[in-house]
Structure 1
Amino acid sequence: MTPDELLTTTRSVRRRLDLTRPVPIDLVRACLEIAIQAPSGSNRQAWQWLVVTDPDQRAALGELYRRAVDSYLESASAAGKLFQDEPGRAGVQERVGDSVAYLGPRMGQVPVLVVPCIQVAELPPGNQAGVWGSILPAAWSYMLAARSRGLGTAWTTLHLTYEEEAAEILGLPRDVRQAALIPTAYYTGSTFKPAARVPLDQVLHLDRWGSRD
């Protein structure tokens, strides 16, 4: 794939994750070696990575995710309930909602769960961009590297509804914060294409808010 193809066809994979095919740990390590080339604030490289393959650990995290998904699907902010009055978007949103519902009870069955973390003594009360900006680019790099190697991933954070319970399952010290939960597996099928997006000109502002030209 060209860089543009990789960047525009790395999608959240939920329904098409192969729950039966093992993922070699060396393949995950190769993706993480690329991930840690990402930038971090002041070059601290304070990221930490938990790669969860133990069936009991995966099941425990999966149960937290399932509980969070159940609550999410009941909420007004669930993907499938958004933009219902916009014919061009309603169908896409419903498919996203259906895929979240599908993964909900199956997260614990995914062969590898990757939890990107950031080590920080205390989250600042104000500007946290530097903290999360020091782990999120690396996590996205991991997902891109996985895609280029035939692995599917999805960016999920719903388990953080039960952040303390997840931290206990993972044995995290108090100065390590979770950024996401990334299911990782080989995917079924082979077709990935750019997603439908709101046109750039609807979200682009030049110099000041509201300026389009």
Structure 2
Amino acid sequence: MIGGMTLPLSPDELLTTTRSVRKRLDLDRPVPIELVRECLEVALQAPTGSNEQGWHWIVVTDADRRRAIGDYYKQSYDRYRAVRNERIATLSAERQVVRSRVASSADHLAERMGDVPVLVLGCLTVAELPAGNQAGLWGSLLPAAWSYQLAARARGLGSAWTTLHLAYEKEIGELLGIPQNVRQGVLLPTAYYTGETFRPAPREPLDTVLHLDSW
């Protein structure tokens, strides 16, 4: 039974105010493992192809392992940052302001990833990765990871969706003893968040991306 206290959020409010939390993660406040378990219980209600439920969830709280994952993440992020900054420089002045703010937040998390009290890895049992479109495969994991983030938000926890650690998937897998037929899909750093100013984010108008009947 899921018995934790949740915030009084409507479904639409929960869906539109669950943000990637990076600078506002409270790195000094311990997160009860039972709270993480509650969020994962919610995540397990997400759909999977043929109801196979081939997911696995690695919850890392050990300080040394968190620090090691943080080091791998930082190495991957440093390479990503150089490419990202080049892209930002090509944007309009208005878009540069927005992207630079997000970039600053991501930079902060990369520096402190190993200090986040809980790191959750969403994984999937995979016989062999297909060569073509993999949407049918990862569609059996990613909805559950998003459900985890929603459940965390409702319980006063913040998280951020990232996959940059996958550049070191093999090394992290060995660190955590993950079998070779279990592939990592997402890393969700989790901590209590500070502040209460979560609100819907600016988005491009729907009609710029909506296609009715054809492109």
1:55, 1:205 → 2: CA distance? 48
After superposition, the CA RMSD in angstroms is 1.3
Give the partner amino acid of 1:110.
V
**Which residue is equivalent to 2:182?**
176
**Which residue is equivalent to 1:160?**
166
**Which residue is equivalent to 1:32?**
40
Identity of aligned residues (%): 63
Aligned counterpart for 1:50 among listed residues 58, 61, 64 = 58
Aligned counterpart for 1:189 among listed residues 178, 190, 195 = 195
In structure 1, the residue corresponding to 2:79 is in which secondary structure? helix
Asked if residue 6 in structure 1 is aligned to residue 52 in structure 2, the reply is no
Q: Deviations over 1:89-138 (max 9, x none)?
A: 22110011011111112000000000000011111222321210000000
- The answer for unaligned runs of 5 or more in structure 1 is none
CA 1:130 to 1:36, structure 2 compared with 1: closer, same or farther past 3 Å?
A: same
Normalising by structure 2, we get a TM-score of 0.93
In structure 2, the residue corresponding to 1:126 is in which secondary structure? coil
Taking CA–CA contacts closer than 8 Å with sequence separation of 6 or more, which of the two structures ends up with the larger relative contact order? 2
- The more displaced of 87-96 and 38-47 is 87-96
CA 1:134 to 1:22, structure 2 compared with 1: closer, same or farther past 3 Å?
A: same
2:73, 2:94 → 1: CA distance? 30
CA 1:20 to 1:110, structure 2 compared with 1: closer, same or farther past 3 Å?
A: same
2:26, 2:68 → 1: CA distance? 20
Aligned counterpart for 1:82 among listed residues 49, 70, 88 = 88
Structure 1 contact 113–183 (Cα < 8 Å) conserved = yes
1:162, 1:15 → 2: CA distance? 24
Normalising by structure 1, we get a TM-score of 0.94
Aligned length: 207
Structure 1 contact 69–100 (Cα < 8 Å) conserved = no
Aligned counterpart for 2:31 among listed residues 8, 16, 23 = 23
**Which residue is equivalent to 1:199?**
205
CA 1:145 to 1:79, structure 2 compared with 1: closer, same or farther past 3 Å?
A: farther
Q: Deviations over 1:20-56 (max 9, x none)?
A: 0000000000000000000000000000000000001
